[in-house]
A and B are shown apart, each in its own frame.
Chain A
Amino acid sequence: MRSQKYGARLLRAQSAAVQPHLRFSQRWSSSISQKPGAAGVRFPGAVDSKFTSAISFEQPSTYPAMQTYRAMSPDGDIISPTVTPPSDSEALTLYENMVAVSIMDVIMFDAQRQGRLSFYMTSQGEEGTCVGSASALEKEDVIFNPGRGRNMPVHYGSKELNIHTISSPLATQIPQAAGAAYALKMQRLADPNIPPRIVACYFGEGAASEGDFHAALNIAATRSCPVVFICRNNGYAISTPTLEQYRGDGIASRGTGYGIDTIRVDGNDIWAVREATKRARELALTDGGKPVLIEAMSYRISHHSTSDDSFAYRARVEVEDWKRRDNPITRLRKYLEKKGLWDDEKEKDARGRIRKEVLKAFSEAEKEKKPPLRSMFEDIYEEITPETRRQMEELKGVIDRYPEEYNVGEFVGGKDSLSK
């Protein structure tokens, strides 16, 4: 029926074309026509396609796999002539950020094993992608990633840093990132004093199988949204290897199908990720805005989460191999050592200091009281509804009548916060 509709539209356009008294400008902008002897009919769905008399199917196997951009060798040498690593002091900061993430991961992972928090997810092996790409963004840029009290652990968000709060459903944030990018574009159109901003949207290769990935890349392209999609292809979605996730050339090969500029980079190479993100940011802001896709290749060294034992589906030796052979932290360390900026002693000092900071923050957080029970009922709507108020009272009544059945002391204000 939809085709009928467009059919009707075409008919109108064509009938307009054969009436000489009608000016060209009066035709539909989508109108098309066949010129005699043309190499291709301008089918509206593919206006640049040429005819061929040879029947042949395009075969993915005839296309070489998209290349992986690398700026720094595994030994820490710069190999890309066009890359510009940051200043020495910034390089050191980025290194410490990566180390800090890995130290926090170990402490939090152990804490979960001791039952001190309900859940955790580490980022071992992917510190380069996160830290490298973030270092190429501006502070005003908006970030979407794949919580507190209400949400599970690791579901972070920060208004100050323009990082939208993480939610568990996979890929839902990808079309949201496109819409947010469109908002940024419109806001700058309305007020040129606003600095140019982009949205960076992160997701894994597993999430890219969701319908929302397709929806997002398509709408981002058709609406020319300044968004950089950053796919972290780490080889696994929980237990599912990429062979069972897709049969094309990774995620990157899909980008061009949507009309999106695309690059594949070595995710263990912080300078490659940083350079690609920097260029992608510039690209995303050209021609009034357009989406860009980066596929960062890495390996998930850690388990999927604290609820997962990955040795149930992959060999321990494979993991150990990646951990030792190619790791974003050790690669950057080699770079810093070659420049004479780092050594064993500095490493020891830094690790000791960061560990202390993380443990301090951890014990402070453990001592903090939990938020008031009332917050369970707040922020559902802008205002609490009368019905919800009644339910708060009802819960308070139950706790009043059965005080032995509930621990309310660990929440700020106890049960009293439930009063109207």
Chain B
Amino acid sequence: MRVPARLYSRGLSLCIPQAPRIVSREQRFRPYSTHPPNARLNIPTDFSSTPLLAHTSQTALRNPELPPEVRNDSTKRMNLFQSINDALSLALAADESVLLFGEDVAFGGVFRCSMNLAENYGSERVFNTPLSEQGIIGFAIGAAAEGMKAVAEIQFADYVYPAFDQLVNEAAKFRYRDGKEGRHAGGLTVRMPCGGVGHGALYHSQSPESLFTHIPGLRVIMPRSPIQAKGLLLSAIASNDPCIFMEPKALYRAAVEQVPTAHYTLPLSKAEVLKEGKDVTVVSYGHPLYTCTAAIEAAERDFGISVELIDLRTVYPWDKECVLKSVRKTGRCLVVHESMISAGIGAEVAASIQGDKETFLRLEAPVMRVAGWDTHMALLFERFNIPDVARVYDAIKQAIEY
């Protein structure tokens, strides 16, 4: 069994297509996590005003990464699951070789990402599989090896492990071992909801991205917003390398913005500088970027500093140059992610910074990692485990006071 009852009760219901509910996170999360009455830092993200989302059509279309024809086109208000649905629909429409499958995908998916796709593109192209993750990924690799674009869904990232052998030993090595024959499983894209959602506990909260970044041959991507999810997912599907596409499920309904309606892609393995600054570099990806934004606002106000915020977008192969360039300028860096500290993405970023001769000399403080503790995601303790605004704020403070 996959979906905790609470997810249903919160509107992530099965069977009933729903219009996006535009409610603040504060309203929606109240029954489960109230913030302390005197909290100044740890207050829930207000998704309706965060600068990370394009609240108007103009902001959405100003993105210089979009091609001119897309920038002259229209936008539509979408949340993250709708933008993923839009991307999947465009991919299915554009290329007959695109297949979409997984557990419960046909009726729209337990998170509604594949809504109406089976109806529109046929049950031969959008279909349910038996409940077997190793089967789903093995099947997808075979289809990709024969020239299809296989978009496979793993219902929760927490359940990808039965397919680990197929991903590590097969998908990732397919091109390499085929050598001059030139065949590959690059048509494979594996989508999986990841990350904490407030009450997912041990098996509905995991962020296993680091397990995939240790595998040559896979691209590991995590978007932070609807615009990104659409562009990066279309890139992943178009890519000739197997891609692991991790969707922060807490953002499925919470993150709403104006999304260009046209087909567009965003570059893989390229980080994005979300905000320029000169004193500290904050590196993150996915959901914690909202936490970072709030912490940076508070820190800049309190300490009179300026902080640079970088979204990695693709966590492997990652845009090392972008991060090194920033840290050479600021001399201080912290890395923020949900998954556990040890051997996480932060370890790789920190090691790369100290391992680069030029950047090492510019360091004015140790590289800090703000991440999940080295434990499991216990139901009642989630808010003490996932990096919050106070912890990021505190790390920025320590970095500048060092």
Interface residues of chain A, those whose CB is within 8 Å of chain B, are 1-5, 8-9, 12, 142, 144, 147-151, 155, 157-159, 164-165, 167-169, 172, 174-184, 186-187, 189-190, 199, 211-212, 214-216, 218-219, 222-223, 375, 379-382, 385-387
Contacts and interface: CB of A to CB of B under 8 A. Distances in A.
B124 A186 contact: yes
Interface in B111-140: 124-125, 127, 129-132, 134-140
Contact of B147 (A8, A165, A187, A385): A187
B138 A179 contact: yes
B181 A211 contact: no
B313 to A, nearest CB: 15
Contacts, number: 175
Contact of B170 (A1, A172, A186): A172
Contacts of B4: 1
Contacts of B173: 167
A372 to B, nearest CB: 12
Contact of B317 (A155, A178, A218, A381): A381
A222 B131 CA distance: 11
Interface of B: 1-5, 14-15, 96-97, 99, 104, 124-125, 127, 129-132, 134-148, 150, 162, 165-166, 169-170, 173, 175-179, 181-184, 186, 216-217, 219, 239-241, 269, 317, 320-321
B165 A172 contact: yes
Contact of A165 (B124, B177, B269): B177
Contacts of B129: 219, 222-223
A223 B216 contact: no
7 contacts: A8-B15, A167-B170, A183-B147, A218-B135, A219-B132, A222-B129, A386-B317
Contact of A176 (B1, B2, B145, B240): B145
B138 A379 contact: no
Contact of A178 (B96, B97, B104, B139): B139
Given A169-B169, A186-B99, A164 B183 contact: yes
A180 B146 contact: yes
Name which of B150, B181, B184, B321 has the most chain A CB atoms within 10 A of its CB.
B181
B273 to A, nearest CB: 18
A167 B179 CA distance: 13
Contacts of A211: 132, 134, 162
Contact of A218 (B124, B132, B176, B183): B132
Contacts of B15: 8-9, 12
B210 to A, nearest CB: 16
A187 B1 CA distance: 34
A147 B179 CA distance: 8
B138 to A, nearest CB: 3
A150 B146 contact: no
